[in-house]
Amino acid sequence: MARPKIALIGAGQIGGTLAHLAAMKELGDVILFDIAEGTPQGKALDIAESGPAEGFDAALKGTNDYADIAGADVCIVTAGVPRKPGMSRDDLLGINLKVMKSVGEGIAKHAPDAFVICITNPLDAMVWALQKFSGLPANKVCGMAGVLDSARFRHFLSLEFGVSMKDVSAFVLGGHGDTMVPLTRYSTVAGIPLPDLVKMGWTTQDNLDAIVQRTRDGGAEIVGLLKTGSAFYAPATSAIEMAEAYLKDQKRVLPCAAHVDGAYGLKGIYVGVPTVIGASGIEKVIDIKLDKDEQAMLDKSIDAVKGLVEACKGIDSSLA
Ligand code: APR
């Protein structure tokens, strides 16, 4: 059987890391696409040359021609510009919306059966626009944010409790922005919910609140340190986890920016929710019960996402 084909649209910091991870995990053959001439070709060759030492079997090709993504099983989109210090994800909207239009058209023409994972920010609005521009089924187009936000939350919690990250599970809902909703009640250490761990004296409510805030600011913390761009290792790893769930029909329960129509009382909006990812793409949106405070936080986050979607419609009338 031929290997799956993974097309990476955008061969920058995240795109290059995605290519390296996909090859090392032998998820399939990799096509790196970018508008910058030489960048995807150079990265593809460099990663291919790591193959003999690493011992993976995967073909890599860099290209500036959309025709090369033909028949891709998975497309991961990072095309666009990243943040610089002082910028919010929302400041990227105007530039990256135009990029989503060309990417959506390219995928629709050459890889209409692919499972598409968008990473470009501002995430929830960009994945919404990408689905509209591409016309692909909504269950085959999603955004990577929740896996990353949860991973950041898990990392900080494992430091706080001094336990392995493997034993920490965490839940983050809502948009990928300052209004994201880390859900402490559904986050656990070996099955023990965080509020119980406060009661047990393992941590304090103040420490937990600080960790929640650090999770919300997780992307900005990295931007502030790097100064020339935004995070790329953890975002790439998170998207690869989603791609693998699709390619191997793993039925993983992963939070991601999915098209929500009905659940949470929402109508046709992309926002971060827990989902099941398998061979049909987003196979299920899990509609968990929220208490009053959690619902209020989610409502605020959804309002922020709706504001960005309206801004997109204002910029490109074909989306209205
Ligand atoms: N088509 C294809 N590629 C494009 C296009 C386009 N229309 N416009 C820009 N690109 C390419 C750039 O040439 C660059 O190589 O997208 C790549 C983006 O790479 P980086 O600038 O290194 O950005 P990166 O850190 O990978 O982040 C990409 O993901 O997390 C988000 O906020 C981040 O929106 C940003 C995106």
Q: Taking residues 180-202, report their average pLDDT.
A: 96
- Which phi and psi angles does 234 have, rounded to 5°? -70, -40
Strands (E), the chain: 5-9, 29-33, 60-63, 74-77, 115-118, 141-143, 168-169, 172-173, 181-182, 188-189, 192-193, 252-260, 269-278, 281-285
- The one-letter amino acid at 17: T
Give residue 182 CA to ligand 1 midpoint distance, Å.
27
pLDDT at 320: 87
Closest C-alpha among 10, 19, 115 to residue 72 = 115
Q: Which ipTM score applies to this complex?
A: 0.99
Confidence label for 25 from pLDDT (cuts 50, 70 and 90)? very high
Q: What pLDDT, on the 0 to 100 scale, is given for residue 302? A: 94
State in Å: Cα 95 to ligand 1 middle. Answer: 11
Give the distance, in angstroms, between the CA of residue 224 and the centroid of all CA atoms in the same chain.
20
For residue 218, what pLDDT band results from cuts at 50, 70 and 90? very high
Q: What is the pLDDT of residues 81-121, one digit of tens each?
A: 988 888 888 889 989 999 999 999 999 999 999 999 999 99
Specify the pTM.
0.97
Instruction: Kindly give the distance from the C-alpha atom of residue 267 to the centroid of ligand 1, in angstroms, as a whole number.
Output: 30
Binding-site residues for NAD(+), in ranges, read 10-15, 34, 96, 119-121
130: closest CA among 157, 155, 94, 105? Answer: 105
- Retrieve residue 90's tokens: 């929302």
Sorted by sequence, the CB contacts under 8 Å of residue 149 that are 6+ apart come out as: 172, 176, 180, 182, 215, 218, 255, 272
Pocket-forming residues, ligand 1, beta carbon under 6 Å:
9-15, 34-36, 39, 78-83, 92, 96, 99, 102-103, 119-121, 229-230, 232, 235
Q: Which atom of ligand 1 is nearest to the CA of 98?
A: 7
pLDDT, position 88: 82
Nearest to 231 by CA among 116, 142, 148, 146: 148
Atom index in ligand 1 nearest the CA of residue 102 equals 7
Q: Which atom of ligand 1 is nearest to the CA of 83?
A: 32
Query: Could you list the active site residues?
Result: 176
Residue 85 CB-half CA count within 13 A: 7
